[in-house]
Amino acid sequence: MPGVRGGAVRGGYIEVDLNLTLSVEETEALAPQEKMNGIEINDPTNEKHFVPLDKTGISDIEGKILSQYYRLIEFYVDWSSNSVTKMRNDPRGRFQNSSFYFRQGISYSDTGIYSPMFRLSHGGVFDQKASLIFSDYFSREYLLGILCSKLVKYFVKIFINHSVSAQVDSIKEIPIAIPNDNQKHSIENKVNEIIEHQRADSSYDYVNEQQELDSLIYQLYNLSEQQIQEVEDWYDRKYPKLRRDIDIE
C-alpha cells in the first residue's frame, strides 16, 4: 500500500493501486469459492482482486505509540484465481492454516522488544509468519483490552517468556480473567473508543484511554496498590522510550 515504510521498504513490496483493492466489507462478502480459490477476473487493470493481508508495519516509538488495537490496512495480496493457482503450485508457497483465512480475529506481532502487540485483524489472508487469535467465547474487544494492557506485558516478560520472541506457546499461557457483565462492557467500550479514534486518525495517541483501561484491568485481576505500582515501575524501566512524564504543579 502507498505510504508504508520500514519492513515494507526493506522487503521490496510494490505499491498496489487502491482502486483494485477490496474493503474489509467486500472481502467478507466474497463467496466461499472465491475465498478458497480466488476471484475470477477478466481485466486485472480494472477489476478488484487484492484482499487485505494481515501484516503490519512498524510502531511509532518516537511518538510513544505501539501498533495496538487497530491499524489501517497496510498490505494486500493478489487473490485473483490465477494468482492463487500459481501460489498453490509454487513449491515455496505455504497455505498453512488456510481454513482460518477470511475470519475476523486478533492479529499480533510476536517478535521485538515491544512484543507481543495485538490489534484487530482485517479478515483477509495471512502468511506463514502471521499470528492470529480466534475466540468463540470472548469478544475481540474484550480480549484486546486485556492483551494490550501493561499487566499482560508484565506477565509475558516476567513469568512466561524473557526473550524478544513471544511465540504461540507463550501466548497460550496468558491468564485471561473471567469478567462480570459490568467489567466486560466497560473494557469493551473503552477499546471501541480507541478503535474509533484510530479509524479516523491512524496516528491517534490513545495514552489517556490506555491509562483508563489499565486501571480497569488492575481491578479485574484484583491487584493491590503495591502490585499495581510494581507493574507501573517495571513498565517504565523496561520501556523508557514509552514513558510519559507528567509535570505536577
Q: Are 120 and 195 in contact (CB under 8 A)?
A: yes
Q: How far apart are CA 127 and CA 77, in angstroms?
A: 10
| Each residue's pLDDT tens digit, 83-112 | 999 999 988 877 878 888 999 999 988 888
Q: Is residue 114 part of a domain?
A: yes
Q: Is residue 154 part of a domain?
A: yes
In the chain, the number of structural domains is 1
pTM of the shown model? 0.86
Q: Is the peptide bond before 116 cis (omega within 30 degrees of 0)?
A: yes
Helix (H, G, I), strand (E, B) or coil at 180: coil
Domain of residue 43 covers 7-242
Q: Is residue 34 part of a domain?
A: yes
| Each residue's pLDDT tens digit, 161-219 | 777 666 667 788 999 999 999 999 999 999 999 999 999 998 899 999 999 999 999 99
pLDDT-based confidence at 244, cuts 50/70/90? confident
pLDDT-based confidence at 228, cuts 50/70/90? very high
Residues belonging to the chain = 249
Q: Is residue 249 part of a domain?
A: no
CATH at 65: 3.90.220
Q: How confident is the prediction for the chain on average, in pLDDT?
A: 88
Q: Are 51 and 124 in contact (CB under 8 A)?
A: yes
Q: Is residue 137 part of a domain?
A: yes
Task: Read off the C-alpha cell for 91.
Answer: 513449491
The stretch 32-49 carries a mean pLDDT of 96
Q: How far apart are CA 202 and CA 193, in angstroms?
A: 14
Q: Is residue 247 part of a domain?
A: no
Provide the pLDDT for residue 13. 76
Q: How far apart are CA 12 and CA 239, in angstroms?
A: 30
The amino acid present at 41, given as its one-letter code, is I
Task: Output DSSP code: residue 134.
Answer: -
Q: Is residue 158 part of a domain?
A: yes
Q: Is residue 133 part of a domain?
A: yes
Provide the pLDDT for residue 60. 74
Q: What is the H or E stretch that residue 118 is in?
A: strand 117-120
Residue 123 reports pLDDT greater than 70: yes
Q: Nearest 5°: phi and psi at 83?
A: -65, -45
